[in-house]
Amino acid sequence: MDKLVIEGGVPLTGQVTISGSKNAALPILFASILLSEPTTFTNVPMLRDIHTTLKLLSILGCPADFDNNVVSMTPCTLSPEAPYELVKTMRASVLCLGPLLARLGEARVAMPGGCAIGARPVNLHLSGLEKMGARFELEEGYIIGRCRKLKGAHIIFDFPTVGGTENLLMAACLAEGDSILENAAKEPEVVDLANFLIHCGAKISGHGASIVHVSGVSSLGGCSYPIMPDRIEAGTFIVAAGITDGELVLQNCPSEELDALLVKLSAMGMHFENTKEGLLARRRNGSLRGADVRTQPYPGFPTDMQAQVMALMCLAEGSSVVEESIVENRFMHVQELARMGADIRLSGHSAIVRGVGQLIGAPVMASDLRASASLVLAGLAAKGTTQVQRIYHLDRGYERIETKLAAVGARIRRKKE
Ligand code: EPZ
């Protein structure tokens, strides 16, 4: 297993290019199961989760070439089974369920199981698909779904589930009749999926708002589609500029999708400027102040930025309260930050962070994707050496992060453990 070795204390300066969005690319790639024609995707990030998705799609009958951030997909004869060996490594594999039922009328998808950040059930996916006529059984850890032909339905989500909205959106595109998805997720990645499906001939309206309308069509063609930039990678590099007291310019930064984050970071003392090269991010006048954060569905503060901003709060003056209201166990980074001298107290779904003058480098353990990012950020600011172990978590969602960080001055290198 690899680790990252970081000598902290260097203010990062320069330009960073933001890659394609993992959380847009994953559902869009799974949507290719719906298509009857070849399709090309550009700006696809070279990530572990993308490779896992392409491996799974190849098993399902959608083989693809992946070169230089371009995926060329050729749909073949579909197979209904998504094997446990792959699904257990990536929860988003459940996104093949809706498309398989829509195309084949059957699906055998291993239950995703929990992950480091919680049980993360898929009940809302299943109940929505049942309303469209699917029937499910659970057999030896596999979700077995069957339907004659999915029918359009009016689905009201208990919670604006991102994956649930994406699964149902894809299923509804080929269902018989019209569907309404109410209390749908509004995340930009859901909108990117809808835009891709529309490019392929789907009839969707209202995406990006709470009520989405879909009129089923008999088939979907192919197209060439660019994946949107990754707002969470962008947010992570913005925090990197703040935590090291440097100045970064982010090219391809989707600033308009980061309002809740930028408002909060401005309140903490960061400065932002739109330049012709991209979004400039730095501290306003040297010091940072604590702030309170509650994670919420989009357009609220993104849960995927909670761990990274907590690292910044560790070095801000005063206290911050972080309430994680979306994901049940997303404070795995707290104990590791404490090993570096952070002062954080957990109380239920909240963490109280008291700013300290300095963090001290230490060996720390990555546990999930965004917790790993938080530890890298803390290491960039800490005095001395930080070793972040098990960085395969990080490779799931960040394309060449150490190369990008080193290019703007970080003393960081990957080592075999
Ligand atoms: C997506 O996960 C993202 N993953 C996650 O990003 C992100 O944290 C999450 O949305 C919230 O924004 C991808 O897009 C691949 P949800 P997803 O369905 O689809 C409950 C990252 O770091 N829930 O909105 O799983 C459950 O507690 C990853 O890039 C149910 O109870 O998110 C879950 O934790 C991590 N039943 C919470 O809602 C359901 O059927 C949010 O789930 C579905 C969800």
Q: How confident is the model at residue 328 (pLDDT cuts 50, 70, 90)?
A: confident
Ligand 1 pocket residue status of 125, Cβ below 6 Å: yes
Task: Kindly tell me if the per-residue pLDDT of 277 is higher than 70.
Answer: yes
Q: Which of 28, 47, 96, 162 to mutate to test the pocket of ligand 1 (most atoms within 8 A of CB)?
A: 162
How far apart, in whole angstroms, are the C-alpha atoms of residue 408 and residue 13? 5
Half-sphere exposure of 334 (CA within 13 A, CB side): 21
Token pair 């009749």 is found at 177
Indicate whether residue 190 lines ligand 1 (CB < 6 A).
no
Q: Choose among 394, 397, 374, 310: nearest CA to 346.
A: 310
pLDDT at 363: 98
Amino acid at residue number 121:
P
Say yes or no: CB of residue 303 within 6 Å of ligand 1. Answer: yes
- In this structure, the residue with its CA closest to atom 15 of ligand 1 is 23
Q: How far is the CA of 92 from the centre of ligand 1 (A)?
A: 9
The number of the ligand 1 atom at minimal distance from the alpha carbon of 23 is 14
Is the Cβ atom of 370 under 6 angstroms away from ligand 1?
Answer: yes
Element at 164 (helix H, strand E): helix 162-173
Sign of CA dihedral 326, 329, 332, 337: positive
Residue written as token pair 């009958």? 61
Supply the mean pLDDT for the chain. 96
How many A from CA of 174 to the centre of ligand 1?
A: 24
Task: State whether the beta carbon of 26 lies less than 6 angstroms from ligand 1.
Answer: yes
Check if 397 has its Cβ closer than 6 Å to any atom of ligand 1.
yes
Please give the Cα distance from 98 to 405 (Å, whole number): 38
**Ligand 1 atom with minimal separation from the 164 CA:** 18
Residue 355: pLDDT band (50, 70, 90) is very high
DSSP 13: E
Residue with the nearest Cα to atom 30 of ligand 1? 121
Q: Is 124 in the pocket of ligand 1 (CB under 6 A)?
A: yes
| pLDDT tens-digit readout, 13-37 | 999 999 999 999 999 999 999 999 9
DSSP 222-275: --EEEPPB-HHHHHHHHHHHHHTT-EEEEET--GGG-HHHHHHHHHTTEEEEE-
Q: Which residue from 135, 87, 140, 96 is spatially nearest to 114, judged by alpha carbons?
A: 87
User: What is the spatial distance between Cα 142 and Cα 60, in angstroms, rounded to a whole number?
Assistant: 15
Contact in structure between 415 and 2 (CB atoms under 8 Å): yes
* Residue of 19, 21, 22, 23 to mutate, ligand 1, most atoms within 8 A of C-beta: 23
With a 6 Å cutoff on the Cβ, whether 112 touches ligand 1 is: no
pLDDT at 113: 65
Predicted confidence (pLDDT) at residue 115 exceeds the cutoff of 80: no
Q: Identify any residues that bridge with 108 across adjacent strands, giving them in sequence order.
A: 81, 144
Cα(120) to centroid(ligand 1), Å: 7
| pLDDT above 70 coverage of the chain, percent | 99
State the Cα–Cα distance between residues 116 and 390, nearest whole angstrom: 13
The contacts of residue 315 (CB under 8 Å, 6+ apart) are 243, 288, 355, 356, 357, 358, 359, 381
Question: pLDDT category, 75, cuts 50, 70, 90?
Answer: confident
Q: Mean pLDDT throughout 242-251?
A: 98
Mutating to test ligand 1, I would choose from 50, 210, 304, 369 the residue with most ligand atoms within 8 A of its C-beta, which is 304
* Residue 121 CB–ligand 1 contact under 6 Å: yes
CB 405 within 8 A of CB 413: no
When pLDDT is cut at 50, 70 and 90, the band that residue 417 belongs to is confident
Q: Establish how many alpha carbons lie within 13 A of residue 358's alpha carbon, considering only the half-sphere containing its beta carbon.
A: 8
Between CA 176 and CA 51 the distance in angstroms is: 33
- Compute the distance between CA of residue 304 and CA of residue 395 in angstroms, rounded to an integer: 15
The token duo for 272 is 């932002």
* pLDDT tens string 247-257: 999 999 999 99
The pLDDT confidence band at residue 76, using thresholds 50, 70 and 90, is confident
Q: Does ligand 1 have an atom closer than 6 angstroms to the CB of 47? A: no
β-strand partners of 66: 71
Predicted local distance difference test score (pLDDT) of residue 112: 76
CA of 163 to the centre of ligand 1 (A): 6
Collapse the DSSP code of 211 into the 3-class scheme (helix H, G, I; strand E, B; otherwise coil) and give the result.
Answer: strand
SS3 332: helix
Residues in the chain: 417
Query: Which residues are designated catalytic?
Result: 115
Atom of ligand 1 nearest to the CA of 122: 40
> What whole-number distance in Å separates Cα of residue 113 and Cα of residue 157?
21
Residue 21 · residue 207 · CB < 8 Å: no
